[in-house]
């Protein structure tokens, strides 16, 4: 009985220490997700206006740019997959990986070869464990990406998009990221990044608003040459920021759930320890009373 009581107290102490860690991680994630959302909001006006300018060029100007011209036959596609570097963030990474797997299957069913570009250790480890080839990998910044990270990723994708097919080039670029709808809802999404999809009279993001008429100097072709790399970088930057905010929100929710579960387990262990202690005290009293009775009987004899 004493051994059982001691084990219960040790377990309660261990769970209590773990709860302190999960609570601290919850608070850290909460502070980080606020900063991540603010960063995403600050970057949104630039991204939106750049999308409008590129859409105006691609829609209204008679230009033929390689980043806006679809391939006659799509033979090979790049798939950018954004996950986390670490765990303890619920189903965030696994949901993104599942979405990427569905996208890959859909492309392969169309006879398209898929090249994977991985962001985050989770997708890198996933592919390495299953011996799936990876074209390029990036890691170490999933929860706090910078524009320099987006710049590097976008330039690598553009370079492969502009390569001839015979040299390993791709005809399309797709991206899988996680969009943060709210603190409770994060939705993995798959989007085509290149070639640029523009619906006449709308923005590149698909919002139904009329594109204003721009005058481009020195000429639309030159401006488009300058804007298209900026557009791709801004989209990758947007995907990284949204994924980072989603990762942190998912981590906060997972740590809160772990803290709540630990608190419930502590209550259960405390109750079991109290019951064990009561049983131990009852047994001790019974033994004392029994011993006293035996002594009294012996004295009477």
pLDDT in tens, 95-154: 999 999 999 999 999 999 999 999 999 999 999 999 999 999 999 999 899 999 999 999
Q: Which of 26-30, 201-205, 275-279, 280-284 has the lowest mean pLDDT?
A: 201-205
**Residue-level pLDDT at 192:** 93
The full set of domains in the chain, from first to last, is: 2-25+257-295 (1.10.287), 27-254 (3.40.1380.10)
Structure tokens at 278: 């009561």
Residue 197: which residues within 8 A CB-CB, separation 6 or more? Answer: 204
Segment 273-281 shows an average pLDDT of 84
For 79, list phi and psi in degrees, rounded to 5.
Answer: -125, 110
Does 296 score more than 50 pLDDT?
yes
**Residue-level pLDDT at 171:** 93
Q: Would you give the distance in Å from CA 264 to the centre of its chain?
A: 28
What is the rounded distance in angstroms from the CA atom of residue 53 to the CA atom of residue 99? 30
What is the rounded distance in angstroms from the CA atom of residue 262 to the CA atom of residue 82? 31
In the block, tokens 């330039």 appear at: 155
């Amino acid at each position: 009985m004493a051994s059982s009581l001691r084990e219960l107290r040790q377990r309660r102490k261990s769970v209590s220490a773990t709860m302190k860690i999960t609570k601290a991680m919850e608070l850290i994630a909460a502070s980080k997700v606020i900063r991540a959302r603010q960063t995403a909001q600050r970057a949104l006006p630039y991204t939106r206006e750049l999308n409008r300018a590129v859409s105006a060029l691609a829609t209204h100007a008679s230009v033929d740019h390689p980043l806006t011209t679809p391939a006659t036959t799509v033979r090979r596609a790049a798939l950018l997959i954004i996950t986390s570097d670490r765990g303890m963030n619920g189903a965030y990474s696994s949901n993104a990986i599942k979405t990427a797997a569905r996208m890959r299957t859909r492309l392969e069913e169309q006879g398209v070869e898929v090249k994977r570009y991985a962001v985050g250790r989770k997708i890198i480890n996933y592919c390495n464990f299953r011996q799936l080839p990876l074209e390029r990998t990036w890691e170490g910044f999933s929860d706090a990406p910078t524009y320099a990270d987006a710049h590097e990723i976008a330039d690598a994708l553009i370079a492969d998009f502009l390569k001839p097919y015979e040299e390993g080039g791709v005809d399309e670029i797709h991206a899988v990221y996680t969009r943060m709808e709210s603190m409770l809802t994060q939705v993995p999404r798959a989007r085509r990044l290149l070639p640029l999809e523009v619906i006449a009279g709308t923005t590149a993001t698909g919002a139904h608003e009329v594109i204003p008429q721009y005058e481009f100097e020195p000429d639309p072709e030159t401006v488009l040459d300058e804007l298209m790399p900026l557009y791709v970088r801004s989209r990758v930057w947007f995907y990284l920021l949204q994924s980072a905010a989603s990762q942190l929100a998912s981590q906060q929710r997972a740590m809160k759930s772990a803290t709540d579960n630990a608190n419930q387990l502590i209550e259960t262990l405390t109750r079991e320890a109290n019951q064990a202690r009561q049983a131990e005290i009852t047994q001790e009293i019974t033994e004392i009373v029994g011993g006293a009775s035996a002594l009294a009987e012996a004295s009477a004899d």
